[in-house]
């Protein structure tokens, strides 16, 4: 199939974009892209391509923007229940960490998720997946972490694997048994840390290998830790991540969402694929991160969702030469937001990114944040044919506009979906 007559075809070609390189869109005016068997086989100008490939089935982009599907590299999309009451409590003055310390917050979603059978979990999650897809996300990371016990964590992995198989969107999985200290261990976080290391990580590895021998997949899921006051301290985070690395898991970490415990430096030291949140990060930590291959993932929907004033210091990260991506952080507590378009709009305003920078951070760099930059995140020969056609003719409408959906069509592995 030949997609032609894009006012602007944003290829994002040339790999992940570090520091001041961010924002290289690889824009082709009157662009075209040729797809065969779900993959991109040629990228160029419509005038040449229509003559060169006269027999191809065509899709007329009709003067609109075509770009890679968004890659959302940080979500907690699978959960049961909601936290509308907690939102109201926060508006009345309680803080997120106070609510968590009182056994609410993440822990109230843990209770609901533990009580939910597999089918309920999947039924509640399907509409979120579909909303993400309709807003242009074609690949997303998805974490466990509302079980905090082996059985429920494995049920979450099972649900995610099943949803990945049934939905056209691709999911990349993360085990986050270290998302919070479960109520049974409220005064003994070291014992829970030991349990994650000695029981849960080996159980997840064994379970995963059994599943994947049937699915034909390669590679273990990511392992992520919430390194934060009231969750896991730096020493506990290190123990979990070092154990995970020794078992062969690739690493991620939630760091500096509220307090700087040193998680960003730990991520760089351990060679984590990404470090996410980075709001309370110090200048010294940013300098270290800027020289490391670890991707800095900013989650602007989270401070927005919590009505906080501080966002990720994106310009400092870029000045330090860092690799910056953005994600929604979709979760029931801080950011029930399925839309990468909204994350882009916030990143432009509160992280001072240009639309071009935010788009690169939401495509090729966010693919790098989940080790998928060789497959998705740009329109280049050999990559998966995952792209979106917008309703507009100028890419800067992404960022500029918010609160409505600018996506008209989503193309996933060469199959076209009308939104």
Q: Which residues, other chains included, contact 137 with Cβ-Cβ below 8 Å and sequence gap of 6+?
A: 69, 70, 71, 72, 169, 338, 340
Among left, alpha and beta (phi > 0; psi -120 to 50; other), residue 4 is beta
**From the list Fe ion, ligand NIG, none, partner contacted by residue 312 (C-beta under 5 to 8 A by kind):** none
Pick from 72, 164, 170, 257 the residue near ligand NIG by CB under 6 A.
257
Q: Choose the binding region for ligand NIG from 40-48, 266-274, 331-339, 405-413 (rule: CB under 6 A).
A: 331-339
Tokens of 238: 């290190």
Q: Which residues, other chains included, contact 85 with Cβ-Cβ below 8 Å and sequence gap of 6+?
A: none
Residue placing its CB nearer to ligand NIG in the complex, 83 or 412: 83
CB 271 within 8 A of CB 293: yes
Instruction: Kindly state whether residue 329 participates in binding ligand NIG, applying the rule CB under 6 A.
Output: yes
Instruction: Kindly state whether residue 224 participates in binding ligand NIG, applying the rule CB under 6 A.
Output: no
Angle between helices 283-290 and 263-270 (to 10 degrees): 20
Q: Choose the binding region for ligand NIG from 332-340, 357-365, 388-396, 403-411 (rule: CB under 6 A).
A: 332-340
Residue placing its CB nearer to ligand NIG in the complex, 107 or 410: 107
Instruction: Kindly state whether residue 86 participates in binding ligand NIG, applying the rule CB under 6 A.
Output: no
CB 323 within 8 A of CB 293: yes
Interactions with Fe ion, residue window 305-364 (CB under 5 A) = 329
Instruction: Kindly state whether residue 230 participates in binding ligand NIG, applying the rule CB under 6 A.
Output: no
- Count Cβ atoms below 10 Å from residue 284 Cβ, excluding itself: 11
Instruction: Kindly state whether residue 128 participates in binding ligand NIG, applying the rule CB under 6 A.
Output: no
Q: Alpha-carbon Rg of the chain, whole angstroms?
A: 21
Task: Give the Cα separation of 333 and 335 in Å (integer).
Answer: 6
Q: Are strands 387-390 and 407-412 parallel, antiparallel or unpaired?
A: antiparallel
Residue placing its CB nearer to ligand NIG in the complex, 7 or 334: 334
Instruction: Kindly state whether residue 108 participates in binding ligand NIG, applying the rule CB under 6 A.
Output: no
Residue placing its CB nearer to ligand NIG in the complex, 237 or 334: 334
Binding residue count for ligand NIG, defined by CB under 6 A:
13
Q: Are strands 415-418 and 407-412 parallel, antiparallel or unpaired?
A: antiparallel
Q: Which residues, other chains included, contact 67 with Cβ-Cβ below 8 Å and sequence gap of 6+?
A: 9, 10, 12, 359, 363, 379, 387, 388, 390, 395
Instruction: Kindly state whether residue 258 participates in binding ligand NIG, applying the rule CB under 6 A.
Output: no
Task: Give the Cα separation of 173 and 157 in Å (integer).
Answer: 8
Instruction: Kindly state whether residue 334 participates in binding ligand NIG, applying the rule CB under 6 A.
Output: yes
Site string for ligand NIG, 267-306 (x = CB under 6 A): -----------------------------------x----
**Closest distance between ligand NIG and the C-beta of residue 75, in Å?**
9
Task: Give the Cα separation of 395 and 61 in Å (integer).
Answer: 14
Instruction: Kindly state whether residue 182 participates in binding ligand NIG, applying the rule CB under 6 A.
Output: no
Instruction: Kindly state whether residue 106 participates in binding ligand NIG, applying the rule CB under 6 A.
Output: yes
**Closest distance between ligand NIG and the C-beta of residue 299, in Å?**
6
**From the list Fe ion, ligand NIG, none, partner contacted by residue 5 (C-beta under 5 to 8 A by kind):** none
CB 294 within 8 A of CB 317: no
**Closest distance between Fe ion and the C-beta of residue 276, in Å?**
6
Pick from 31, 68, 73, 333 the residue near ligand NIG by CB under 6 A.
333
**Closest distance between ligand NIG and the C-beta of residue 261, in Å?**
13
Tokens of 154: 């494995």
- Count Cβ atoms below 10 Å from residue 24 Cβ, excluding itself: 17
Residue placing its CB nearer to ligand NIG in the complex, 17 or 302: 302
Binding interface with Fe ion (CB under 5 A) = 329
Q: Which residues bind ligand NIG (CB under 6 A)?
A: 76, 105-106, 109, 226, 254, 257, 302, 329, 331-334
């Amino acid at each position: 199939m030949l997609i032609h007559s894009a006012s602007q075809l944003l290829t994002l070609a040339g790999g992940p974009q570090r520091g001041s390189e961010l924002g290289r869109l690889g824009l082709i005016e009157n662009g075209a892209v040729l797809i065969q068997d779900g993959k991109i086989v040629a990228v160029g100008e419509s005038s040449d391509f229509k003559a060169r490939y006269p027999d191809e089935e065509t899709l007329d982009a009709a003067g609109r923007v075509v770009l890679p599907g968004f890659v959302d590299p940080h979500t907690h999309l699978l959960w049961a229940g909601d936290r509308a009451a907690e939102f109201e409590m926060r508006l009345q003055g309680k803080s997120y960490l106070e609510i968590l310390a009182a056994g609410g917050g993440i822990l109230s979603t843990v209770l609901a998720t533990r009580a939910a059978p597999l089918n309920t979990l999947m039924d509640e999650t399907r509409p979120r997946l579909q909303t993400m897809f309709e807003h242009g996300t074609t690949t997303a990371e998805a974490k466990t972490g509302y079980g905090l016990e082996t059985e429920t964590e494995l049920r979450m992995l099972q649900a995610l694997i099943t949803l990945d198989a049934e939905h056209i969107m691709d999911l990349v999985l993360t085990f986050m048994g270290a998302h919070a200290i479960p109520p049974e261990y409220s005064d003994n976080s070291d014992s829970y840390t030991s349990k994650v290391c000695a029981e849960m990580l080996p159980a997840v590895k064994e379970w995963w290998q059994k599943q994947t021998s049937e699915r034909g997949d390669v590679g273990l899921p990511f392992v992520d830790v919430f390194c934060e006051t009231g969750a896991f301290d730096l020493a506990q985070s290190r123990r979990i991540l070092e154990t995970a690395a020794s078992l062969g898991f690739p690493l991620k970490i939630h760091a500096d969402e509220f307090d700087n415990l040193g998680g960003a430096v730990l991520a760089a030291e351990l060679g984590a694929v990404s470090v996410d949140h980075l709001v309370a990060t110090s200048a010294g930590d940013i300098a270290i991160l800027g020289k490391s291959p670890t991707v800095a993932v900013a989650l602007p929907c989270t401070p927005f969702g919590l009505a906080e004033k501080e966002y990720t210091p994106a310009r400092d990260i870029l000045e330090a030469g860092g690799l910056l991506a953005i994600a929604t952080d979709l979760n029931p507590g801080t950011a029930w937001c399925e839309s990468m378009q909204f994350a882009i709009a916030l990143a432009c305003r509160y992280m001072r990114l240009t639309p071009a920078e935010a788009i690169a951070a939401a495509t090729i760099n966010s693919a790098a944040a989940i080790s998928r930059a060789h497959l998705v995140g740009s329109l280049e020969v050999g990559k998966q044919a995952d792209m979106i056609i917008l309703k507009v003719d100028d890419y800067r409408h992404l960022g500029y506009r918010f609160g409505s959906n600018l996506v008209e069509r989503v193309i996933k592995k060469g199959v076209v979906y009308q939104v």
